[in-house]
Structure 1
């Protein structure tokens, strides 16, 4: 059965003939604090001899994803060690996500290099959390890694956990459900969007206080969830052991990345890639029309991994492709670029006007601001976007845009196709009654039939003592929306929407200044959005010729 499954995987991913291998299970890896982690070794049959080794450290078990990647690479002639991280699937200690991966990973790396079957050369692979375990090692390894395949992941997680300062509630609830139940029901099953789980998740994310939502979600307390909500107001301080974005790019190994326009780590991954490339590291990235773990991305991830390892462990030849390869959505084409951001993209400002229009002309005069009221008892709902589970990607936003707590600005029909490729940003001048509030900005593609499909967005949580606020209470909110590769077709219109929530993708703002973990009461927030000559709210779009 295993051999049949492997042949099906190879066929699905587009691989040809394979090589035989053996799998040695439950190798014991002692750490410096006395904890023992378990690992499986995939190697060539016959006597052991020193060979380069691929290391994969995963919290999701050595079967499932671990065995798929381990056996896939072993059938391509690589020696692979797949290790269960601390506190998962037989490994000792307590699983505290992200907090132990650097020390545990460096101990593991030293152990691997001390084995008779390793020649000292080590590369690392794996997506998502597994990719983050690479970032926890690579900047500190001495001698360094030979290479990394860090897919759909990032060097730090705070900006993804708390985008713009607002806790990313729904995606974290999805992940907590998996890690809180995976050893009881299986790692893969934990990610399935079953009706029972969907109902449980809805109850959990709408419950208050949020610090107890883990019990509603999984049936038991989950330490990571408590860490997530308890430290929402000062996240960087608590998650410092998991932040590896201060790396020296010149000392990093060659890094290969795959991600998607709808992946929740896209923003940070492109920051990492840009830092690597500008700092002199060897780096390449592929960005497709995918969500996190999208089936459509699997073949690309697998082939990039095999190629990169072949170059850096087996002295293979580079394929000479460009450092950046991106898919332009709705143009249905791949584009190669020398770097990120695209050097040919022209930043173009589109201004919000008093009549609900959107265009290149800077506003004149002093028209009254646009107003709305946000109610934490009925927060503006989530529609699409970079979600771990459907409904994700693009959805019709008309229902949300018709609400009283959303304001929209729409441009004229385009005379020709408009390709957007690169960073997107926004500057919004806003006043709230108390200085508290969330600002959600979204760019949409409005078709001739009126459908309004989201392209990209961002969230910013206003914290009074951290904002630059004018004497009249106006705050200039400068936001970085997720980058995009997208064609807005001729006859379509661009639209900007602004709201005070996108719930439950982001945790609701109680409006009281209470802590995220313990808030149970709520107060409405009155918003004024300014768009006059002194307060020219606008978005900046990357026009790519």
Structure 2
């Protein structure tokens, strides 16, 4: 008799009335396929690890005879009703067993929590335990957002044969790349996440959410203080022991970071995967990389990218899409409809979803050139000019506004106050005669002169509406410091960069704007202009930049544009 032919009697306790009412309300609000049955729960199951540690898990089972295809979620954020209601119950009510496990050192699980380094081994040991459960039918999917997505990639480093599908929301495979985006420390994101993890079990789920929502404002005074060494202690409470290690090793080529990467899993996986990202999410570029690599290797991969930031992911969309993907790859009786398109993206500006056969789609380049007095024109410059100057002072750093941060103020924001600062320069087109739809990564070429070899340049694409409100679309910061072994030298350089992919329509009457500055603090750790180690430096040296926009230095912006009516 096969695993699928076995009959396993129902076990576990029924859900509380409150949980049942909440689940029905979510089903209606999220427009989910009808539930196929009730749900029961086995709480606080012990899952042994090879080193003797015991991890805790709650198991949500369909109230029908098993065994069942099973979904595994491994999380550092607890197993409480809030998480279960969003991530477990919608699937258990539709025929799946769902295992919600607290990773090592969190919420009753034994051992010590050390971000991501134990997840590959502990994931494998969890699958060994799953094989012994009579309600498991031998078919496994993994699911979850953020850190829960990393645990999926960690398991996929050596995928068990039972693994049939992965559903990954806004998640990284490389924590080092996430923390050191383009070689620059993501100071705000790392600080907020560290503060969350260090305090979440002390304050409870409700106060923990309030703490997360207020973190950007609450931590701001500490993030302005130098040196950065000892920063986690200044947050109060029990400091996260790994944070000072991260500060000490703030260089992406440091071998220290190897244990924080599951990149080989992306490069070797053959497991069907649904990737869900957000245009304003911290991990957007890793989601796009995962899609491109899996697609190029012939893996059955689908991708959805919405308008979201990390904390504003739409659980209704992710749940509907997760159920549709699993309906094909981990089918259950009475499953809802399967997914119909490979790529599903939200076009901001147009405020609409679009189905595409691939990403990025076919486009045509359109180029504008930076011009004197803050212009952005179709015509390349034909005469010499003085350029545009600005000075960045690391002791009064240009602030970050919106963007891909782990904070309440993330995403698309009004940039008016930022652009009024003397250390920010903007270049803007005339009002558009017709819509321009950007699909992909905008390319920027800057002819830049700097009087300090240790400097950053922050480049942001904005949409300016008919009332003059400037809202960010996509951006990137580039560290211009000398490479290892290179002698420091100020002077002229050409900076070529590609902004993170996006899908955005600039409406007729709107204007395209390129915003340029020397930093975005505290989103990025400021470049102090001295070349000293990031954690130990205590003083700053300003830098003055010159942006060229003449016949010898034709700085430009190029957008990959979709044909009108496409």
TM-score when scaled to structure 1?
0.93
Contact between 2:425 and 2:517, CA under 8 Å: does it hold in 1?
A: yes
SS class of match (2:456): strand
Q: Is the 8 A contact 1:249 1:281 kept in 2?
A: no
Aligned pairs for 1:263-278 within 5 A: 263-278=281-296
Is 1:450 the equivalent of 2:472?
A: no
2:324 alignment partner in structure 1: 307
Q: Could you tell me which residue of structure 2 aligns to residue 518 of structure 1?
A: 536
CA distance in 2, matches of 1:39, 1:288: 31
Q: Does 1:326 align with 2:345?
A: yes
User: How big is the shift at 1:199?
Assistant: 4.5
Deviation string 1:446-466 (CA, Å, 9 cap, x unpaired) is 223222111111011122125
Structure 1 counterpart of 2:457 = 439
Contact 2:482–2:488, Cα closer than 8 Å, also in 1: no
Q: How does 1:62-461 map to 2 (within 5 A)?
A: 62-68=79-85, 69-143=87-161, 145-187=163-205, 189-192=207-210, 197=215, 199-234=217-252, 237-247=255-265, 251-294=269-312, 297-314=314-331, 319=338, 321-343=340-362, 345-461=363-479
Map of 2:4 onto structure 1? none
Q: Secondary structure at the match of 2:242?
A: helix
State how far apart, in whole Å, the 1-side matches of 2:81 and 2:465 are: 42
State the alpha-carbon separation in 2 of the partners of residues 363 and 114 from structure 1: 71
Aligned partner of 2:30 in structure 1 is: 13
Native 8 Å contact 2:156 2:269 kept in 1: no
Tell me, in whole angstroms, the C-alpha distance in 2 between the residues paired with 1:376 and 1:470.
19
Q: CA deviation at 1:471?
A: 8.2
Look up the SS of the partner of 2:244 in the other structure: helix
Superposed CA RMSD: 2.4
Instruction: Give yes or no for contact 2:453–2:488 (8 Å, CA) kept in 1.
Output: no
Aligned pair partner of 2:549 in 514, 520, 531: 531
1:387-426 superposed Cα distances (whole Å, 9 cap, x missing partner): 3222222222222222221121111211111111112232
Aligned counterparts of 2:386 and 2:264: Cα–Cα separation in 1: 44
Structure 1 17/42 Cα, relative in aligned 2: closer, same or farther at 3 Å? closer
Query: 1:33: Cα distance to partner?
Result: 2.1
Whole-Å separation in 1 of the counterparts to 2:244 and 2:268: 37
Which residues of structure 2 form unaligned runs of 5+? 1-17
Report the Cα offset of residue 13 of structure 1. Answer: 2.0
Which string of whole-angstrom CA distances, capped at 9 and with x for unpartnered residues, describes residues 86-112 of structure 1? 110011111111221112112222322
Q: Would you say how many aligned residue pairs link Structure 1 and Structure 2? A: 542
Cα 1:350–1:366 change in 2 (3 A) is same
Per the alignment, do residues 249 and 471 of structure 1 end up closer, same or farther by CA in structure 2, a change over 3 Å counting?
Answer: closer
- TM-score normalised per structure 2: 0.90
In the aligned structure 2, how far is the partner of 1:81 from the partner of 1:371? 57
Aligned counterparts of 1:152 and 1:79: Cα–Cα separation in 2: 23
Contact preservation (8 Å) 1:444, 1:496: yes
Deviation of 1:18 after TM superposition, in Å, equals 4.6
SS in 2 for 1:228: helix
> C-alpha separation between the residues in 2 aligned to 1:301 and 1:196?
25
1:500-538 Cα deviation digits (max 9, x unpaired): 111111111111112222222111122222233443322
The alpha-carbon distance between structure 1 residues 118 and 421, as it changes in their structure 2 partners (threshold 3 A), is same
The unaligned stretches of length 5 or more in structure 1 are none
Contact between 2:37 and 2:64, CA under 8 Å: does it hold in 1?
no
Does the CA-based 8 Å contact 1:469-1:475 persist in structure 2? no
* Residues 180, 252 of structure 2: 8 Å contact kept: no
**Counterparts of 1:514 and 1:51, CA distance in 2:** 57
Deviation digits for residues 51-105 of structure 1, max 9, x if unmatched?
A: 3211110000111454222222111110111111011001111111122111211
Tell me the secondary structure at the aligned position of residue 430 of structure 1: strand
Q: CA deviation at 1:127?
A: 0.8
Which of 504, 507, 510 is residue 486 of structure 1 equivalent to?
Answer: 504
CA distance in 2, matches of 1:18, 1:369: 66
